[in-house]
Amino acid sequence: MKEVEIQTRERTQFVDITEAVREAVEEAGALDGVATVFVPHTTAGITINENADPDVVRDMKSVLDRLVPWRGDYLHGEGNTAAHVKSSLMGSSVNVIVSSGRPQLGVWQSIWFCEFDGPRSRKVLIQFHKG
């Protein structure tokens, strides 16, 4: 397993971690199998989506803010209920097929760490499973 440190600088921020996943797969000597990318935080998530047009990430943030506004009839005492809900909507892990030592992503796809309660110091765990 490899642990990757991420320092976010905004309350809501998407960080492309595709290269870190590629490096973890390479370091594991992985040829064929699956890489699991896991976020061990309750106010952050992970997703796979487009990397070519930055407006896609901007739009995803905008839609999430409309779906789950920061102010609402929330009971959680820390004031970050929206971050918890957004984290659950995005999910805490993704699995990526690895073939011939390379994560099999589409031409426009990247793996995104999703910060919803930043800025913070975070970590992502990457585990390779042989096929």
pLDDT digits (tens, 9 = 90+) for 33-64: 999 999 999 999 999 999 999 999 999 999 99
Domain that holds residue 113: 2-130
Q: What is the pTM of this model?
A: 0.95
CATH number of the domain that residue 7 is part of = 2.60.120.460
What separation, in Å, do the N-terminal and C-terminal C-alpha atoms of the chain show?
16
Q: Could you read off the pLDDT of 89-102 as tens digits, one per residue?
A: 999 999 999 999 99
Three-state helix/strand/coil letters over 18-47: HHHHHHHHHHCCCCCEEEEEECCCCCEEEE
How many domains, in total, are found in the chain? Answer: 1
* Centroid of chain to Cα 121: 14
Q: What pLDDT score does 116 carry?
A: 98
Percent of residues, the chain, with pLDDT higher than 90: 95
Model confidence band, residue 131 (pLDDT cutoffs 50, 70, 90): confident
